[in-house]
């Protein structure tokens, strides 16, 4: 028999590692290396305040991120193909600051997006860790519209990357104090 057990497992009803919350969104130009990814809430705070810009108030259902793997058709079956990291952020801020941000030269290269939950604990512990999501190495395409009918406008930032592995781009962080 040639079976091999996976090294990672998911336990039933283990929801402590799943993010189900509203989050703030931040943007930085460039990509973090593996050694630069924060492991503590203090490191995250320093990284966030030094390199990231807040994307302001977000629209309803503002954040989506995920992945899709294409399949390659072969003569006798299918094979895993190109991996696509995809997502979007919907911002309610259609104003001069947003337009200036989107016109900066850094938007033409790789970007990193940081999502931080609204209610992260101020003193995280093993039983109550702080969380964050970093999506790195993405390119961003934007579109926006303003409204003249007493409603907020919307800027949609769509991002994508094509890494070798999901974890090369999407990092879900569990942070200690």
Q: How far apart are CA 25 and CA 63, in angstroms?
A: 8
Other Cβ atoms within 10 Å of 138 Cβ, number: 24
pLDDT for 118 equals 85
- C-alpha dihedral over 39, 16, 114, 60, to 10 degrees? -160
Q: Which token pair is 32?
A: 């973090």
Query: 119 with 21: CB under 8 angstroms?
Result: yes
Distance between CA atoms of 41 and 63, rounded to whole angstroms? 22
pLDDT digits (tens, 9 = 90+) for 108-155: 999 999 999 888 888 888 778 888 999 999 999 999 998 888 788 899
Domain boundaries, the chain: 23-175
Residue 36: pLDDT over 90: yes
Per the model's pLDDT, the better-predicted residue between 138 and 174 turns out to be 138
DSSP secondary structure of 115-130: EEETT--SS--SSS-E
Report the distance separating Cα 121 and Cα 42, nearest Å: 12
State the residue for tokens 């093993």.
126
pLDDT of residue 51: 95
- Residue 159: closest CA among 69, 63, 82: 63
Statement: residue 70 has pLDDT above 60: yes
Q: What is the mean pLDDT of residues 148-172?
A: 91
Q: How confident is the model at residue 72, as a pLDDT? A: 85
Residue-averaged pLDDT of the chain: 88
CB atoms within 10 A of CB 146: 11
How far is residue 19's CA from residue 120's CA, in Å, rounded to a whole number?
11
Residues 134/53, Cβ–Cβ less than 8 Å: no
Contact predicate 160/88, CB 8 Å: no
């Amino acid at each position: 028999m040639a079976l091999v057990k996976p090294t990672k497992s998911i336990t039933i009803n283990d929801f402590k590692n799943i993010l189900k919350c509203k989050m703030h969104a931040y943007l930085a130009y460039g990509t973090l290396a593996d050694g630069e990814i924060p492991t503590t809430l203090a490191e995250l705070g320093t990284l966030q305040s030094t390199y990231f810009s807040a994307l302001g108030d977000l629209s309803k259902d503002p954040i989506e991120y995920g992945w899709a793997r294409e399949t390659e058709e072969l003569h006798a079956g299918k094979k895993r193909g190109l991996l696509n990291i995809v997502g979007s952020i919907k911002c309610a801020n259609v104003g001069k600051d947003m337009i200036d941000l989107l016109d900066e030269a850094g938007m033409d290269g790789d970007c990193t997006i940081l999502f931080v939950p609204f209610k992260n604990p101020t003193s995280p512990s093993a039983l109550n860790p702080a969380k964050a999501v970093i999506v790195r190495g993405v390119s961003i395409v934007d579109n926006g519209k303003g409204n003249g009918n007493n409603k907020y406008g919307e800027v949609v930032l769509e991002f994508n990357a094509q890494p070798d592995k999901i974890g090369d781009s999407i990092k879900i962080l569990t942070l200690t104090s």
